[in-house]
């Protein structure tokens, strides 16, 4: 295993656990068993390391996601459940790509949104615009009555639900075990959240006739 990959792996798990700001380069290089200066040598700076960690996942995920969302758009009359379910297989495929891949990535997503404000929005919209565009198209096809403004709000609410849930998924899984004696995994959390966000996005328009 190369020094570069050892750093990426350690950074990924530590970032997911403790956030970007909450993780020091010394923690990362210590866990990776490499020298402290190796981070700046290989990546230039901490910020570039963060981007490298995120890109490794997004490059794996975004083509699968775009394909799945395009397929939904090409079906006859997709439901919102169909749209959100399109995320399942691409997200779970990250577990083949890397151990704990799915949960690590989803937690990183949450960290990127809350740690340094605006970073994730910039990262996704500038680096991977195709994913968002396809997603909006799929939602429009599933719920054409939703106007642009309502769509804007509800997609942000959904982003919040997913990002927040995933950034605290470890705690939620622990509570589910102690309170309900259920041994759940990240895939169960994903399957649980889909009916919720689908119902939220699919809520009737506030001041219009029923769809």
Which residues here bind DNA, judged by CB under 7 A?
2-3, 23-27, 34-42, 45-47
Contacts (Cβ under 8 Å, ≥6 apart) of 46: 25, 39
Nearer to a copy of itself, 92 or 155 (CB): 155
**Tokens representing 14?**
């530590």
- Chosen from DNA, a copy of itself, none, partner binding at 25 (C-beta under 5 to 8 Å by type): DNA
Q: How far is the CB of 13 from DNA (least distance, A)?
A: 15
Q: Which of 73, 92, 159, 173: binder of a copy of itself (CB under 8 A)? A: 159
Site for a copy of itself in 171-190 (CB under 8 A): 171-172, 175-176, 179-180, 182
Closer by beta carbon to DNA, 47 or else 182: 47
Question: 156 and 164 in contact (C-beta within 8 Å)?
Answer: no
Q: Give the torsion through C-alpha atoms of 117, 118, 124, 125, to 10 deg.
A: 170
Least distance CB 139 / a copy of itself (angstroms): 14
**DSSP conformation letters of 13-63:** HHHHHH-STT--HHHHHHHHTS-THHHHHHHSSHHHHHHHHHHHHHHHHHH
User: For 48, left (φ over 0), alpha (ψ -120 to 50), or beta?
Assistant: alpha
- Which of DNA, a copy of itself, none interacts with 41 (beta carbon under 5 to 8 A by kind)? DNA
Q: Which is nearer to DNA, 26 or 121 (CB)?
A: 26
Return the closest-CA partner of residue 115 out of 17, 188, 4: 17
Binding footprint of a copy of itself on the chain (CB under 8 A): 21-22, 110, 113-114, 117-118, 121, 148-149, 152-154, 156-157, 159-165, 167-168, 171-172, 175-176, 179-180, 182, 192-193, 195-204, 206
């Amino acid at each position: 295993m190369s020094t570069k990959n050892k750093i990426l792996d350690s950074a990924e798990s530590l970032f997911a656990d403790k956030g970007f700001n909450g993780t020091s380069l010394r923690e990362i290089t210590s866990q990776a068993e490499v020298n402290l200066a190796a981070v700046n040598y290989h990546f230039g700076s901490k910020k570039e390391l963060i981007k490298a960690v995120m890109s490794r996942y997004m490059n794996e995920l975004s083509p699968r996601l775009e394909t799945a969302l395009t397929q939904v758009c090409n079906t006859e009359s997709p439901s919102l459940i169909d749209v959100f379910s399109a995320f399942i297989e691409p997200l779970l495929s990250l577990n083949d790509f890397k151990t704990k891949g799915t949960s690590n990535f989803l937690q990183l997503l949450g960290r990127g949104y809350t740690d340094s404000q605006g970073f994730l929005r910039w990262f996704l919209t500038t680096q991977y615009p195709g994913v968002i565009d396809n997603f909006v198209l799929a939602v429009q096809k599933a719920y054409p009555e939703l106007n642009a403004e309502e769509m804007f709000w509800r997609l942000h609410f959904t982003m919040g639900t997913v990002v927040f849930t995933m950034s605290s998924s470890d705690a939620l899984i622990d509570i589910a075990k102690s309170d309900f004696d259920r041994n759940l995994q990240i895939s169960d959390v994903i399957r649980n959240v889909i009916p919720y966000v689908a119902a939220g996005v699919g809520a009737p328009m506030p001041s219009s006739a029923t769809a």
